Amino acid sequence: MNIVVLAGGTSSERDVSIVSGTNVCKALREKGHYAILVDVFFGMEQLPEILFPKAYDVERAAEDIKSRNENLKQVRAERRKFFGPNVIEICQEAEVVFLALHGANGEDGKIQAAFDLFGIPYTGTGYLSSAIAMDKGVSKKFFEIYGVPTPKGITLDKKNYSGNPADYGLELPLVVKPCCGGSSLGVYIVNDQAEYEDALKAAFSYESEVIVEEYINGREFSVGVVDEEAYPIIEIAPIEGFYDYTNKYKPGSTVETCPADLSTELSQKMQEYAILGARALNIEGYCRLDFMMLEDGRMYCLEANTLPGMTPTSLLPQEAQAIGIDYPSLCEKLIQISLDRHGKTHSW
């Protein structure tokens, strides 16, 4: 198949996206597909004579995309439109676009909506469920409606909020995080009023809405849901601190156990909540949901990720490996179920 792996973009997770896209592109080529790596924001000024060549240097393409990082701020200031030169045209020539994007303008439904209008098949769920899942405040409300346990919390607006958590029925310790952030950027665990005020200031530097929620001090887990099937649970135990951006992407910074050491009863319960959480947000195709669990077995769903990371240390590939699905086969499977969702045929 002719496949565009779309990566890069303008979010704070640009670098992670490039790593995900590079790995996905390599894996699809191992499977015999004519995959190419394209930066959604910078695009291609000049199109090659053969857009989907048989021979292709993925690493060279990735290095070219990385080299644009230093010009990102300047180009964003000078250009009004998001899609780079020829991006839409290139994607229209592909049989499917693998979205290896993370964060704003990638995981929030905007690209999905544009591709729907252009008739471009893509991996992952649609624009509405992407937007809902990206907004942690909105997704929390959907979890509550559908009976998916989630930490008690509130969404604060930068223009009008109280600095006293008691005004919202909340008590320290608390978690403060951007409403639509990703990769745990801007997430703070606070234990006193001074830390709380500092965390609010820092979180608001990322965006104008912030989530404040009760801190669940327990074990952390993640569950992939692929085609309405819950994959084996993975437990995440950072060696230092919590599962923040550094611990997510620095090899050796966490102990990850898959399948997690849980009783059959607790495993089934968490997997059922994961499936219910995906349904609550109307997520199609695949996603990954994050959980915390207290010592007494009470569990809480934190959020859903509609385009889970596909880096060497990412969780969904580890969960797939636990049931015998290697990385290239997982990439191909995600394309297959996405094409089925779009009503498109595929050649395998």
Which residues have a Cβ under 8 Å from the Cβ of 333 and sit 6 or more positions away? 226, 320, 325
Query: From CA 230, how far away is CA 235, in angstroms rounded?
Result: 15
What's residue 346's pLDDT?
A: 60
Chain position carrying tokens 């021979």: 55
Q: How confident is the model at residue 347 (pLDDT cuts 50, 70, 90)?
A: low
More confident residue, 160 or 332: 332
Which of 139, 209, 213 is closest to 175 using CA atoms?
213
- The helix or strand, by DSSP H or E, that contains position 270, with its residue range, turns out to be helix 264-280
Which residues have a Cβ under 8 Å from the Cβ of 125 and sit 6 or more positions away? 112, 133, 282, 283, 284, 285, 286, 287, 306
Q: Which residues are catalytic?
A: 13, 183, 249, 288, 290, 303, 305, 309
Of the listed ranges 69-73, 141-145, 159-163, the one predicted with least confidence: 159-163
Pairing assessment for the beta strands 2-7 and 96-99 based on DSSP bridges: parallel
Domain segments of the chain as ranges:
2-124, 152-214, 217-306
Mean pLDDT within 270-284: 98
Q: What is the CATH number of domain 217-306?
A: 3.30.470.20
Residue 82 clears pLDDT 90, i.e. is over it: yes
pLDDT digits (tens, 9 = 90+) for 114-131: 999 999 999 999 999 999
What's residue 222's pLDDT?
A: 98
CATH architecture group of domain 152-214: 2-Layer Sandwich (3.30)
Residue 247 clears pLDDT 50, i.e. is over it: no
What's residue 255's pLDDT?
A: 92
What's residue 345's pLDDT?
A: 66
Pick the CATH number of 2-124 from 3.50.50.60, 3.40.50.20, 1.20.1250.20, 1.10.10.10: 3.40.50.20
Radius of gyration, CA atoms only, the chain: 20
Residue 75 clears pLDDT 80, i.e. is over it: yes
Q: What is the DSSP string of 74-99?
A: HHHHH---SS-TTHHHHHHHSSEEEE
Tell if the pTM clears 0.95, that is, is over it.
Answer: no
Q: How confident is the model at residue 181 (pLDDT cuts 50, 70, 90)?
A: low
What's residue 250's pLDDT?
A: 59
CA angle (298, 178, 62) in 5-degree steps:
105
Query: From CA 234, how far away is CA 309, in angstroms rounded?
Result: 14
Share of residues in the chain with pLDDT > 90 (%): 84
138: three-class secondary structure by DSSP: helix
As given in the structure block, the two tokens for residue 330 are 């997982």
DSSP structural state of residue 208: S
Q: How confident is the model at residue 251 (pLDDT cuts 50, 70, 90)?
A: low
Q: How confident is the model at residue 343 (pLDDT cuts 50, 70, 90)?
A: confident
Q: Are 296 and 223 in contact (CB under 8 A)?
A: no
Residue 348 clears pLDDT 70, i.e. is over it: no
What's residue 210's pLDDT?
A: 93
Mean pLDDT within 271-293: 97
- The helix or strand, by DSSP H or E, that contains position 153, with its residue range, turns out to be strand 153-157
Query: From CA 312, how far away is CA 249, in angstroms rounded?
Result: 9
Mean pLDDT within 260-265: 98
Query: From CA 329, how far away is CA 233, in angstroms rounded?
Result: 19
Of the listed ranges 242-246, 273-277, 322-326, 327-331, the one predicted with least confidence: 242-246
Query: From CA 33, how far away is CA 217, in angstroms rounded?
Result: 45
Query: From CA 191, how far away is CA 202, in angstroms rounded?
Result: 15
Mean pLDDT within 300-314: 92
Query: From CA 204, how far away is CA 94, in angstroms rounded?
Result: 39
